[in-house]
Amino acid sequence: MSKIEQTVSIPHLGGSVVGYTLSGQYNPDLPTLVLINSYTTSAELYRPQFANTALTSAVNLLALEPYGHGRTRAAYQHFTYWDSAVANLQVLAALGIDQAFVLGTSQGGWIAARMALLAPEVVRGIIPLGSSMDSETLQSRQLGCWDALEFCTPFIEAFADPVSDEWVVPEQFVDDTFDAALGGLSPDEREFWLATYRTNYSGDGGRRRLLLSTINLRDRDGLHGRLHDITSPVLWLHGSEDKVYSVANAEKEILMFTGATEVRLEVIEGGHHFLSASKPAEVDSAVLEFIKSWS
């Protein structure tokens, strides 16, 4: 069955259009798994999952692109991760989906957590991949996480001023992002992502979305004080080779979900930060088992 790539209009932020990819015609008899992509990527991050027939035959896959990413646009210029969580919930309502499991890579993980906080009656379980529930703190760096200020601030400064319609995202930005997230790309994958980024981040509008996405990453609020209010089951998957957020940080934060029905951290050997791309077979298997156990 061919996947469906469309947009849907919702009222949030003065009126928004949200990009979504569905694995085929929605089947109400199957559970739905929402997929939220990582920083500056798009629904294309989950190509391995959409190609996995064992997964697509068992669940409705629904990739939703956050504000600042892919095809998603808003009337208001500023947005936060809370806004993306609200938007995702409004998309589910617009598509007639009452409940869903939510998987998110990196920033997608903390958007998933926000969705569970805002609408526990909708979110049946969350699956953070290579994520963190903290802001970018000294404590997280002491636990082996990256220095987001060092990574983000030069790009925030570089993207601060208006540009012409001919502007496209610099190759160096794409290379630096994927070096941190996947340890680099093969030549074919690099060409694919360069083309994707140039489509999503071009002209002054693209420059501004890239700027705000980077500001959000660096300056976001943490969730440590709220995690006890998440009641849905939590499966946290983390790669042993994650260069952005450490296993030690995940081991500490998984203990903060004190109100969840079940919490489990699984470390996938050899997995990188963009875990669903670096270890798709292992991720898909763990996700299917989790969904079946809670459906």
Which pLDDT does position 1 carry in this prediction? 57
| Selection from 138, 158, 162, 159 nearest residue 148 by Cα | 138
Residue type, 92: L
Burial of 1 from C-beta contacts in 10 A (0-12 / 13-18 / 19+): exposed
Residue 25 φ/ψ, nearest 5 degrees: -60, 130
Beta bridge partners of 73: 17
For helices 171-182 and 148-158, angle between their N-to-C axes, nearest 10 degrees: 160
Cβ pair 115, 89 in contact under 8 A: yes
Which pLDDT does position 121 carry in this prediction? 98
Weakly modelled stretches of the chain, pLDDT under 70: 1
Residue 5 φ/ψ, nearest 5 degrees: -115, 110
3-state secondary structure of 174: helix
Which pLDDT does position 2 carry in this prediction? 85
Which pLDDT does position 161 carry in this prediction? 98
| Selection from 27, 97, 32, 39 nearest residue 65 by Cα | 39
pTM: 0.98
Question: Distance between CA atoms of 271 and 237, rounded to whole angstroms?
Answer: 10
In sequence order, which residues have a C-beta less than 8 Å from that of residue 29 and are 6 or more positions away?
none
Residue type, 115: M
> Which ranges in 15-170 belong to alpha helices (H)?
47-50, 53-56, 81-94, 107-118, 138-142, 148-158
